[in-house]
């Protein structure tokens, strides 16, 4: 038995029907005004005749029932009109005739010259043609017609441009809110906590909001007050927007969604007007949720009285939001949820109790969270028997929920290109490597010399990676171009890494130097292939000195440059030029010491570097465990897909 349900016929969209009705009204009005305004004094399809042509037709007896019509007398013009037999003939030369066989007649018009009317009338009388006299004047004078036409055009302008285009998103609707209303009760648009994975702590923290929206009387009975605003903080792709939708779906309340950039406009005061209109609409739908994505675009710290330009207009929008969230007007039942990945740039007045008085941190998922996210997104994907999502989860620390969803999608697309029936483990690993380090460019043509230089370069990195005790395990080495690099040495940590030590950074500095040292030692030349290594080593050393306080010279001090987004009063005191030169010298010392240690290690393991380079020229790509076994530097057994982040290098 068929279990299909008949879908109801689609109803016409109200906006499209209203737009069609408006166009019909406009078209009819335009036609009406042009009909009455300056009507052509002649009849349609009238032949204009000169005096000579008219007398010729009169002599030939073709003129029938002439009529003198006084048209447009205000302009002093008088016409003689009537019908005459046509001179046209068909292709055989026979005169044109109608269906009754009578000659075809056409209308004519000839202007009467003042002073010659008497002779013309006499000629018509002699030919026994009775002349009728009619006067046809326009029902309204030209002045009245001009006034009516101008008024009609003004009415059309008001109707079309002001009323019709002044609505939501219209030309004159700048002050209207652009928030999209999603009905939390609609099943097709419903998102619940079951659709959100990897953020268990955050879900627990927002349960109170859902409970309040469902049963507000329970909280008010004991004098409790639900937070008016909840700020979701976390890196991009961690599920902040999805969690907000889940709150609305669980509570089954209306959900207004808008981005911070939707309040920005070229006209002054538009952002504040849209903010007021949005809260006014939300109050009508209370209890409800307002979700503002990327709130940092309108909630940035105010820069003071001297601010000019766009910053002052953004402050107007921010001030309006502050008043709407916690001002004199009651705002019961409207909960504001906002998302940002830059909480340090938000104004302090926005974060005080009574406004965004609760911050929910949504961080990158842990190993357990990554397994849940992969399982959630993998429900629609067909996996092979060897596919192990938990193994992929161990190899992807630092991945956000969006990254994991993208990984599975890439694996599915690769499987389709390979014409596989299911996504196997090899394809999953290939997709993981593509997301991390870029796709292999096997078709990139480069010379044998370039391949040799790349092999020496990556061998230097790989040997130092194996020798370093505090660095992440070696994952893979390849001299096949991947992304924008000619070769790649990949490393993955063994577990989720939340903290890094000074020893780790010192080992990373030495590993960065390994490629350039191997090139110089075995080819006698240096190449541009170390550009990324140099930038990475400089960045690590500068952070050790300026951010992490890992310098022996400066110790427990911070020398970070002030953020361009920070308020003037929040800027740290600037350090002197002498201190700046000392920082540069300390950074240079860290890098030079790491270079010397790396050069010594490679010299002591020269044979291992040569063996690995020759093997890479033959095989092009080698697994980390294969490299360790080849050169005799095996570590304790760890899963191949140990974990990402922090120590991977892509050269």
Examine the domain organization and report whether 485 and 430 are in the same domain.
no
The token pair that represents 325 in the structure block: 């969230």
Confidence (pLDDT) at 210:
83
pLDDT tops 50 at residue 651: no
Using N-to-C axis directions, what is the helix angle for 401-417 and 425-437, rounded to 10°?
A: 120
Residue 367, pLDDT score: 87
Confidence of residue 117 (pLDDT cuts 50, 70, 90): low
Distance CA 258, CA 244 (A): 12
Interatomic CA distance for residues 494 and 355, integer angstroms:
42
CA proximity to 293, closest of 339, 255, 225, 330: 339
Written as six digits, the tokens of 446 are 């480069």
Q: Residue 520's pLDDT is what?
A: 93
Residue 287, preceding peptide bond in cis (omega within 30° of 0) = yes
pLDDT of residue 604 exceeding 90, the answer is yes
Q: pTM to 2 decimals? A: 0.64
Report the sign of the C-alpha dihedral through residues 414, 418, 423, 424, in that order: negative
CATH, residue 254: 3.40.50.300
- Residue 612 has a pLDDT of 94
Lowest mean pLDDT among 136-150, 236-250, 421-435: 136-150
- 521 and 425 fall within a common domain: no
Q: Are residues 540 and 607 in the same domain?
A: yes
Look at 16-30, 440-454, 493-507, 531-545 and tell me which has the smallest mean pLDDT.
16-30
CB neighbour class for 381 (10 Å; exposed up to 12, middle 13-18, buried from 19)? middle
pLDDT attached to residue 44: 45
Rounded mean pLDDT of 407-418? 92
- Annotated active-site positions, please? 458
Examine the domain organization and report whether 223 and 309 are in the same domain: yes
Residue 280 domain-assigned (yes or no): yes
Checking if the pLDDT of 296 tops 80, the result is yes
* Residue 473: closest CA among 625, 368, 359: 625
Q: Supply the pLDDT for residue 648.
A: 37
> Is 221 found in the same domain as 197?
yes
| 479 shares a domain with 572 | yes
Under the banding of pLDDT at 50, 70 and 90, the label for residue 140 is low
Of the listed ranges 312-326, 580-594, 635-649, the least confidently predicted one is: 635-649
Alpha carbon 456 to its chain centroid, in Å, reads: 43
Is residue 225 assigned to a domain? yes
Among 361, 385, 405, give the residue marking a domain's end. 361
Domain termination site, one of 301, 333, 361: 361
Residues 394 and 452 in one domain: no
Q: What is the dihedral of CA 15, 18, 19, 22, to 10 degrees?
A: -160
- Whether 361 has a pLDDT exceeding 80, the answer reads yes
Tell me if 170 is assigned to some domain. no
Pairing mode, if any, of strands 46-49 and 105-111?
parallel
In a domain, 646, yes or no: no
Name the percent of the chain lying above pLDDT 90: 24
CATH number at residue 429: 1.10.8.60
Nearest-Å Rg of the Cα atoms of the chain is: 41
The answer on 609 and 530 residing in a single domain is yes
Q: In terms of domains, do 106 and 222 share one? A: no
Confidence of residue 404 (pLDDT cuts 50, 70, 90): very high
Q: Kindly tell me if the per-residue pLDDT of 273 is higher than 70.
A: yes
Half-sphere exposure (Cβ direction) of 359: Cα atoms closer than 13 Å? 14
Strand partners, 293: 259, 339
Following DSSP, what letter does each residue of 313-369 receive, concatenated?
HHHHHHHHHHHHHSSSS--TTEEEEEEES-GGGB-HHHHSTTSS-EEEE-----HHH
Residue 506 shares a structural domain with residue 410: no
Measure Cα distances from 215 to 116, 335, 650 in Å. 98, 14, 53
Q: Is the pLDDT of residue 5 over 70?
A: no
Secondary structure element (H or E) that encloses residue 36, with its range: helix 14-36
Are 480 and 549 within one domain? yes
Domain coverage including residue 385: 367-437
**Does 177 have pLDDT greater than 70?**
no
All residues at 6 or more sequence positions from 343 whose CB lies less than 8 Å from its CB, including other chains: 231, 233, 296, 351, 359
* Residue 4 in this model has a pLDDT that exceeds 80: no
Average pLDDT over residues 101-118: 66
- Whether 219 shows a pLDDT value over 80: the answer reads no
Distance in angstroms (rounded) separating the CA atoms of residues 362 and 236: 10
Tell me, what's the pLDDT at 521?
Answer: 93
Identify the pLDDT of residue 36.
Answer: 53
Average pLDDT, the chain: 77
Number of domains in the chain: 4
45-99 pLDDT tens trace: 566 777 677 777 777 666 666 655 544 444 456 666 777 766 655 555 555 555 5
Is 442 within a domain? no
| End position of a domain, from candidates 413, 437, 461 | 437
In a domain, 649, yes or no: no
* pLDDT above 70: percentage of residues in the chain: 67
- Read off the pLDDT of each residue in 434-452 and give the average, rounded to a whole number: 79
Residue pLDDT, tens place only, 364-380: 898 889 999 999 999 98
- Interval 571-598: pLDDT, tens: 555 678 899 899 999 999 999 999 999 9
Per the model's pLDDT, the better-predicted residue between 543 and 571 turns out to be: 543
Structure confidence at residue 324 (pLDDT): 85
CATH of the domain at 113: 3.30.720.210
Residues 610-641 have pLDDT tens digits of 999 999 999 988 988 899 999 988 766 544 44
pLDDT of residue 568: 45
Q: Is residue 395 part of a domain?
A: yes
In this predicted structure, the answer to whether residue 533 has a pLDDT above a threshold of 90 is yes
**Residue 559: pLDDT band with limits 50, 70, 90:** confident
- Per the CB < 8 A criterion, the answer to whether 479 and 632 are in contact is no
Could you tell me the two tokens for 567? 């308020």
Residues 186 and 104 in one domain: no
Which residue, chain included where needed, has tokens 């010299």? Answer: 603
- The domain that holds 520 is classified in CATH as 1.20.58.760
Question: Comparing C-alpha atoms, which of 105, 110, 59, 52 is closest to residue 83?
Answer: 105
In a domain, 242, yes or no: yes
């Amino acid at each position: 038995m068929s279990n299909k349900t008949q879908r109801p016929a689609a109803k016409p969209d109200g906006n499209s029907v209203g737009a069609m009705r408006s166009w019909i009204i406009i078209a009819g009005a335009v036609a009406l005004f042009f009909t009455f305004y300056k009507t052509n004094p002649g009849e349609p399809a009238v032949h204009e005749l000169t005096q000579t042509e008219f007398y010729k037709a009169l002599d030939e007896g073709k003129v029938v029932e002439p009529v003198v019509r006084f048209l447009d007398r205000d302009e002093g013009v008088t016409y003689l009109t009537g019908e005459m037999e046509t001179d046209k003939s068909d292709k055989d030369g026979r005169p044109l005739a109608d269906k009754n066989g009578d000659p075809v007649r056409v209308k004519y018009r000839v202007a009467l010259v003042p002073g010659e009317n008497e002779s013309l009338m006499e000629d018509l009388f002699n030919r026994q043609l009775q002349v009728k006299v009619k006067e046809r004047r326009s029902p309204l004078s030209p002045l009245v017609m001009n006034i009516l036409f101008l008024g009609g055009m003004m009415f059309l302008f008001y109707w079309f441009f002001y009323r019709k285009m002044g609505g939501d998103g219209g030309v004159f609707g700048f002050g209207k809110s652009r928030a999209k209303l999603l009905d939390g009760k609609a099943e097709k648009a419903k998102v619940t906590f079951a659709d959100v994975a990897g953020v268990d702590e955050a879900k627990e923290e927002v349960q109170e909001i859902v409970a309040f929206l469902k049963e507000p009387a329970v909280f008010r009975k004991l004098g409790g007050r639900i937070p008016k605003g909840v700020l979701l903080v976390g890196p991009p792709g961690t599920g902040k927007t999805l969690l907000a939708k889940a709150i609305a779906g669980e509570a089954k309340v209306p959900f207004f969604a808008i981005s911070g950039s939707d309040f920005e406009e070229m006209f002054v005061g538009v952002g504040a007007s849209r903010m007021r209109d949005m809260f006014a609409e939300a109050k009508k739908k209370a209890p409800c949720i307002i979700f503002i994505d990327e709130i940092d675009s309108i909630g940035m710290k105010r820069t003071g009285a001297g601010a000019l330009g766009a910053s002052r207009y953004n402050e107007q929008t921010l001030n309006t939001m502050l008043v709407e969230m916690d001002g004199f007007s009651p705002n019961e039942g409207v909960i504001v949820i906002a998302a940002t990945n830059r909480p340090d740039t938000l104004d302090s007045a926005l974060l005080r109790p009574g406004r965004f008085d609760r911050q929910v941190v949504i961080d990158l998922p842990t190993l357990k969270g990554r397994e849940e996210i992969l399982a959630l997104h993998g429900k629609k994907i067909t996996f092979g028997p060897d596919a192990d999502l938990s193994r992929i989860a161990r190899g992807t620390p630092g991945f956000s929920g969006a990254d994991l969803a993208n990984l599975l999608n890439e694996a599915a697309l690769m499987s389709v290109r390979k014409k596989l029936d299911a996504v196997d483990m090899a394809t999953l690993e290939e997709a993981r490597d593509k997301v991390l380090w870029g796709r292999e460019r096997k078709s990139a043509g480069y010379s044998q010399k370039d391949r040799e230089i790349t092999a020496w370069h990556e061998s230097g990195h790989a040997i130092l990676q194996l020798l370093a005790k505090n660095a992440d395990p070696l994952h893979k080495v390849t001299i096949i171009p991947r992304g924008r690099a000619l070769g790649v040495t990949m490393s993955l940590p063994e577990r989720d890494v939340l903290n890094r030590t000074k020893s780790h950074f010192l080992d990373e500095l030495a590993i960065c130097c390994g490629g350039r040292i191997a090139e110089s030692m075995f080819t006698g030349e240096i190449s541009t292939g170390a550009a990324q290594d140099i930038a990475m080593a400089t960045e690590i050393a500068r952070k050790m000195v300026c951010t992490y306080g890992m310098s022996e010279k400066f110790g427990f001090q911070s020398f970070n440059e002030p953020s361009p987004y920070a308020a003037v009063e929040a800027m740290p005191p600037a350090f002197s030029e002498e201190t700046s030169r000392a920082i540069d010298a300390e950074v240079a010392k860290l890098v030079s010491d790491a270079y010397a240690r790396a050069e010594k290690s490679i010299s002591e393991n020269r044979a291992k570097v040569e063996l690995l380079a020759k093997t890479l020229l033959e095989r092009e790509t080698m697994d980390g465990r294969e490299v360790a076994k080849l050169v005799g530097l095996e570590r304790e057994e760890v899963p191949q897909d140990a974990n990402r982040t922090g120590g991977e290098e892509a050269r």
